[in-house]
Structure 1
Amino acid sequence: MRAHRSPVVAAIAVAATLTAVAGCAEKSDGRSTGGKGTVEVTATDSECKVSAKEFPAGHVQFAVQNAGSKVTEVYVYAPGDRIVTERENIGPGTKAEITSEIKAGTYEIACKPGMKGDGIRQKVTATGKGATAKRNPKLDEAVSAYRKYAQEQADLTIPAAQKFADAVKAGDVEAAKRAYAVSRVGWERTEPVAESFGDIDPKVDTRADGLADGQKWTGWHKLEQSLWEKKKISGDDKKLADKLMADLKDWQKRVGKAVINPTTMANGAKELLDEVATGKVTGEEERYSHTDLIDFHANVEGAQKAYELLKPVAAKNDPALTKELDKQFKAILGQLDKHHDSKSADGFASYDTVGKGERKTLSDSVNALAEPLSKLAAAVAGNK
C-alpha cells in the first residue's frame, strides 16, 4: 500500500535514505536529470509545473525536481485515473528521473505534496506512434510472462484470503491470525499492478492514518487491528471479511486488463522497494501484527521476478547494472534469510523482535538495491 501512508513516517524514511534518493537523480557521468526530449516536472507545495504540455509518444523521460518543503509523489494518470507510472518519496530539494513507455493519448501529471489526496494536476498529451512498434521481441516475451505471473499471484491469493475470511467469519481469532499474513503474499508480490487500477488498493490495503476524507476503513488492516489490538471479532468485522473477498475477486478479474509494458515492469520493481523502505522497514505496514518481514520478502520476490524477466535485454544494454543488481538481490535475500522462524505461521520472526541495529542493516540493504534498480527502466529502454 503506497498512496495512503502516514506523511510523518514517510518523511522519516526519506530522511534516512536521502543519499540514495539523490544518487538516483543524477546520471553516472555527473550530469543532472533533464535534456533534449525530457519532460521536466517541478513540484512545490502548491504547484506542479511541466516543461511541455505536449510531447512525442514512446519512451519518455520525466525529470522530477521537488522544490517544495514536503515529501512528494509524482504520478502519470491515463483517463479514469489508471496509473501509467509513478515515483514516490521524493524528498524536499531532491530529484528523480522516471523512464516510462507512453502511448499516444491524453494524460494527467499529478504532484502530491505530503503524498496525500488527488494531487495538483496538469493535463498533457502524447502524440504520434512512438517507438513501441520497434520493441525487442524479448521484451514482448517478458511482458507476456509477467502478465501470467501477475494473474497467477492473484489466483493464488483468493483461496489463501478465503481461508482468512472464513476464520474471521467463524469468530476464530487465532485461526484468523495464522492465516492473515499468508493471505497477503500474492498481493504484495504484484502490488503495483493492483494499484494501477486506482480504486482497489484503498479498499483492501489502507491503514487507519491513510484514509481519505469520508472514506470508510475496510480491508486487511482493519481486520488486523481487530485481531491483534482489540483481540476480538465483531459482527462488522465478519461483514468486512466478505467485502475483502469481493474486492479481491474484483482485482483478480481485472488483472488481465492492467497496462503492462517493459517500463511499467521496471518501475514497478522500484516501487516495490519503495514499499519496503517506507512501510516494512519502518514497521508501519503491519503495526498490529508485526508480520512485516513476510511482506518485505514478497515485495523483494516480486521485484526480482520483474527484473529477471527484463534481464536479457537490460544486460545487453547495461551489463554493469545487471551485475550490480544480481549482487544486491542476493544480498537482500540473504539478510531476510537470517530472520526466518520455522515456528511462525508465516515463516518469519515477528518484526517487533528485530532490533534497531538489524533494522538498520535491512534498511541499508534496501537502499543498496533501490539505487541501481531505479536505473532498470532506462536500461530496458536502451538508455544507460
Structure 2
Amino acid sequence: MRRSPALIVPLLALGLAACSNSSDGSEDGASTGAIAVQATDTACEVSAAQAPAGTVEFAVTNSGTKVNEFYVYAEGDRVMGEAENIRPGDTRTVHIELGRSGTYQTACKPGMVGDGIRADFNVTGASAAPGTDDENLKAASGEYQRFVASQADAFLEETTAFVAAVKAGDAEKAKALYPTARSYWERIEPVAESFGDLDPKIDGREDVLEEGMAFTGYHRLEKDLWSTGLQKDSGEVADRLLADVTELVAKAKTVQLNPLQLANGSKALLDEIATGKITGEEERYSHTDLWDFEANFEGSKAAIQALRPFLQQADPALVATIDTRGKALGDLLETYRSGDGFVSYPELAPSDVKKLTEALDAFSEPVATVAGVVAKG
C-alpha cells in the first residue's frame, strides 16, 4: 500500500486544486466518445465536463515529467475507477462504470503523492445499473466473489496468529507469519481498499499517511519487529490491527462486483507491483517485497481467470498473449524463491529489478486491454 486514505470501489485522495474542463464540441460539454485527459505535473485537462450514465471511457495522456494517476470519485471520495502508473509520454485508456446520474470528480495525481488535482464531472440521464446479458460475464462476478471471500477468511485467520505472536513477545514467530498473512491482503488489495480509512489503518506506510493520522497496522508492527524492537504499545497496536482486519473482512465479503471492476482490478494489482513492490518501498523494514509481488500477481491472474470463459470467446488471441506473458513473469519470479518464500529484496541486483520490471510491463500490456473487451460485452 502506498497511497493515503482511499475509498476504492471493488477492484479497482485528493485535494481542492482546480482541474480545468473543456467541451469536446457538444453544447453542454457532454462526452460523445472517449474523453481525452491531458495530465501534466501541474494540470489535469479533461475534454468533457459530463457524460451520459453508463460505461465512460477516458484516454489519459501523461504530458508531464512525473508518473501520474487518474481517478474518478463519487460522493464521499469513493473511487469509481482509476488508472495508475501512467509514465511520462504514455496514454492509458480506462473504462469506468458510472451508472448513476449525479456529480462526480475527476482527478490527476502527478507524482502519485499529495491530494492531486480535481474537477467536477457530471453524469446525466437515466440511472443505469451495470449489467450484462452474457452468461460468462455473469458467472465471472460470482467466481471472483468466492475467491475474495476465501482470501478474506484466510487473512483474518493469519492476522489472528500474527497478533498473538506479537502480544506474546515472540518476535521471531511474528516475523515468520508477517509475509504470509500479508499475502492474503495483497491478493485482494483493490477490494480491501474499498472501506474508508481501514486501508491506511491496516496497511498505511509512515511516509504516506494523511497529516494527523496515527501510524498503526501492519507496517507499524513491521518497523517494531525489524527496526526498533517491540515497543510498549506494540500489543495495543496489534489489538487495533486485529479489530480493523475483522471489520474489513466482514465488509469485503458483502461487496458486489461487476465484470468491468474485475478487469480494472486486475490491472490495478499490477500497478501496485510497479509503483510499490518492484521498488522495494512497501516492505522497507522486512524486505519481504517479493512476497507482496507474487500475491498481487496471483490476485491479478485470479480476476482474469474468472473472466476467462468470456475472453476466450471474445478475443482468444488476447488470452493466449496473457497466458504466455504471465507464464514468463511467473517463471522469472520463481528464480528468486528461497525455501517457502523469496530472497530478501536487497539481494536483488539492478539487473534483477530490470528483468522483473520488463516482464511485469510485458504482462501488464495485454491485461490493460481486458477492460475494453469487457466493456463491449
1:56-71 matches, cutoff 5 A: 56-71=52-67
Q: Deviations over 1:127-173 (max 9, x none)?
A: 33458344412111111111121121111101101111111111111
Kindly indicate whether residue 206 of structure 2 is the aligned counterpart of residue 208 of structure 1.
yes
1:178 alignment counterpart: 176
Structure 1: where are the runs of 5+ without partners? 6-34
Is contact 2:2–2:205 with CA below 8 Å preserved after alignment?
A: no
Amino acid paired to 1:110? A
- Which structure 2 segments of 5+ residues have no match? 6-30
Say if 2:50 and 2:123, in contact at 8 Å, map to a contact too. Answer: yes
Shift of 1:263: 1.4
Q: Which amino acid aligns with 1:3?
A: R
Equivalent residues of 1:54, 1:125 under 8 A apart: yes
Amino acid at match of 1:146: Y
In the alignment, structure 1 residue 316 sits paired with structure 2 residue 313: yes
Identity among equivalent pairs (%) = 45
State how many pairs are aligned.
350
Question: CA separation in 2, counterparts of 1:93 and 1:361?
Answer: 22
Matching of residues 209-224 of structure 1 within 5 Å: 209-224=207-222
SS of residue matched to 1:187: helix
* 2:105 aligned partner: 108
- 1:92-124 deviation per Cα after TM superposition (whole angstroms, max 9, x unaligned): 343211012221233221222222233322222
Q: 2:335 aligns with which of 332, 338, 343?
A: 338
1:334 deviation in Å?
A: 1.0
State the one-letter code of the partner of 1:48: C
What's the CA shift string for 1:295-354, capped at 9, x where partnerless? 111111100000011122122222221110011111111112222222xxx522222222
Mapping of residues 219-234 of structure 1, within 5 Å? 219-230=217-228, 232-234=229-231
Q: Secondary structure at the match of 1:101?
A: strand
**What is aligned with 2:342?**
348
Q: Distance in 2 between matches of 1:255 and 1:95?
A: 32
User: What secondary structure does 2:319 align onto?
Assistant: helix
Report matched runs for 1:138-157 at 5 Å.
Answer: 138-157=136-155
Cα RMSD (Å) of the superposition?
Answer: 2.0
Amino acid at match of 2:341: G
SS of corresponding position for 1:117: coil
- Cα distance in 1 for residues equivalent to 2:127 and 2:211: 40
Shift of 1:181: 0.6
CA contact (8 A) 1:84 1:259 kept: no
Q: What does residue 273 of structure 1 align with?
A: 270
Secondary structure in structure 1 of the residue aligned to 2:122 = strand
Specify the alignment match of 2:282 in structure 1: 285
Whether the 8 Å contact between 1:81 and 1:197 is mirrored in structure 2 is no
Structure 2: which amino acid aligns with 1:113?
P
- Could you state the TM-score of these two structures normalised by the residue count of structure 1? 0.86
1:219-272 deviations in Å (ceiling 9; x for gaps): 111111111112x21122111111111111111111134352111111111111
1:236 aligned partner, one-letter code: D
Aligned to 2:233: 236
Matches within 5 A, 1:1-384: 1-4=1-4, 36-106=32-102, 107-127=104-124, 128-130=126-128, 132-230=130-228, 232-258=229-255, 260-342=257-339, 346-382=340-376
